């Protein structure tokens, strides 16, 4: 993979963000943008255990997708307090994914603001993501191809990004939003996955208080170097092509995939995994 460091700035104005990053659809890490938020000093794992300790949270791990899995169906559940204790005690593959804090713990909304980046943020969808040491997300892009602002809290996290122009090199699973799950994007095997050598992307490490802007439809892989968590705010895609893809994904693609899982079972999953290799190597 040909990875370049994501641009880093201490802070940024709305005008500079729109001109230098949103219009060219280029990622950026803003290092000191949220230091006036109460969340900057308050949000850590212990605080989350205090304010949401009795909440049952959905947990996901890195097991391969099965035809039996529903769309974004969690693999386990436990109380937030118990999950935080697990994160602090030992490495775990369990992650919290797409946890809506407005719905689950409304008081947390008092700790942050909706920043004015010149984009209309979806204020009903602030999502939290948690992970333990060395846990990671599969390389994927979001179903709505949104512009994403990713605010990181506690610890460190590695991020690798690709734009949609790199699809031919990433072993994308058809009728899906992910790449082959057996690819280790942190340390890829180029003999097994030769197309990855041509993929051009971005890399950065996030620390407490950093904000990452991910442009529309960007692929992202995230690995927790230490236990920590992040919050994402999103804005709908402005590019008509990306908006059309988002509508297709939400209104048709995910339901078609669910139907084929029911009709063909694991054969459908196996066929898609095989096609990811066939189509990628054909494109080469």
Q: What integer is the mean pLDDT of 167-183?
A: 94
Which residues, 6 or more positions from 231, have their beta carbon under 8 angstroms from its beta carbon?
A: 39, 101, 112, 126, 127, 128, 129, 150, 151, 153
Q: Supply φ then ψ for residue 127, to 5 degrees.
A: -115, 140
Handedness of CA 237, 196, 170, 65 (dihedral sign): negative
Sign of CA dihedral 203, 153, 164, 141: positive
∠ at Cα 104 (103, 109), nearest 5°?
A: 70
**Cβ atoms of residues 237 and 146 within 8 Å:** yes
Kindly tell me if the per-residue pLDDT of 72 is higher than 70.
no
Q: Compare 162 and 74 and report the one with higher pLDDT.
A: 162
Residue range 60-81: mean pLDDT, rounded: 71
Residue 94, pLDDT score: 83
pLDDT given at position 283: 77
pLDDT at 56: 87
Query: Each residue of 61-87: b (16+ CB within 10 Å) or e?
Result: eeeebebeeeeeebeeeeebbebbebb
Please tell me which residue, 74 or 154, carries the higher pLDDT value.
Answer: 154
- Higher pLDDT among residues 211 and 101, named by residue: 211
The larger pLDDT score, comparing residue 23 to residue 88, is at: 23
What pLDDT digit, counting tens, does each position of 23-70 carry? 999 999 999 999 999 999 999 999 999 998 888 888 887 766 655 555
Look up residue 262 and give its DSSP letter.
Answer: H
Cα four-point dihedral sign 72, 139, 100, 76: positive
Closest CA to 26 of 6, 12, 11, 9: 6
Residue 36, burial from CB neighbour count under 10 angstroms (0-12, 13-18, 19+) = exposed
- Please give the pLDDT value at position 77: 85
User: Which pLDDT value is given to residue 220?
Assistant: 96
pLDDT of residue 64: 63
Please, which pLDDT band fits residue 89 given cuts at 50, 70 and 90? confident
Please write the tens of the pLDDT for every residue from 204-236: 999 999 999 999 999 999 999 999 999 999 999
Kindly report, residue by residue over 111-160, the tens digit of the pLDDT. 999 999 999 999 888 899 999 988 898 899 999 999 999 999 999 999 99
Q: What does the pLDDT read at residue 90?
A: 73
List 78's β-bridge partners, or say none. Answer: 57
130: β partners = 96, 229
Question: How much is the pLDDT for 150?
Answer: 96
Residue of 131, 142, 153, 145 lying closest to 60 (CA atoms): 131
Determine phi and psi for 102, rounding to 5 degrees: -65, -40
Q: Is the pLDDT of residue 82 over 70?
A: yes
pLDDT digits (tens, 9 = 90+) for 3-15: 999 999 999 999 9
Residue 58, judged by CB atoms within 10 A of its CB (0-12, 13-18, 19+), counts as middle
**Per-residue pLDDT, 197:** 95
Alpha-carbon distance of 125 to 138, in angstroms, equals: 22
Let me know how long the chain is: 284
Higher pLDDT, 101 or 128: 128
Average pLDDT estimate for 84-102: 83
Average pLDDT, the chain: 91
């Amino acid at each position: 993979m040909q990875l370049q460091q994501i641009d880093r700035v201490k802070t940024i104005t709305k005008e500079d963000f729109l001109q230098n990053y949103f219009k060219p659809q280029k990622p950026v890490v803003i290092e000191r943008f949220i230091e006036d938020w109460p969340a900057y000093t308050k949000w850590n794992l212990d605080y989350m255990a205090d304010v949401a300790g009795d909440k049952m949270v959905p947990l996901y791990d890195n097991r391969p997708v099965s035809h039996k899995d529903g769309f974004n169906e969690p693999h386990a559940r436990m109380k937030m307090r118990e999950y935080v204790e697990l994160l602090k005690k030992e490495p775990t593959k369990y992650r919290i994914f797409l946890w809506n804090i407005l719905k689950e713990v409304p008081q947390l909304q008092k700790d942050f603001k909706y920043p004015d980046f010149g984009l209309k943020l979806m204020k009903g969808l602030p999502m939290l993501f948690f992970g333990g040491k060395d846990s990671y997300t599969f390389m994927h892009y979001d179903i709505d191809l949104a512009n994403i602002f990713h605010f990181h809290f506690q610890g460190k996290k590695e991020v690798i990004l690709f734009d949609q122009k790199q699809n031919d090199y990433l072993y994308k699973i058809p009728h899906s939003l992910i790449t082959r799950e057996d690819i280790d994007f942190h340390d890829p095997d180029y003999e097994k996955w030769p197309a990855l050598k041509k993929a051009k992307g971005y890399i950065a490490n996030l620390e407490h208080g950093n904000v990452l802007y991910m442009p529309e439809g960007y692929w992202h892989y995230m690995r927790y170097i230490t236990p920590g968590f992040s919050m994402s705010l999103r804005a709908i895609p402005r590019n008509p092509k990306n908006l059309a893809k988002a509508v297709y994904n939400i209104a048709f693609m995910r339901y078609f995939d669910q139907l084929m899982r029911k009709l063909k079972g694991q054969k459908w999953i196996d066929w898609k995994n095989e096609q990811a290799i066939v189509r990628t190597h054909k494109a080469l």
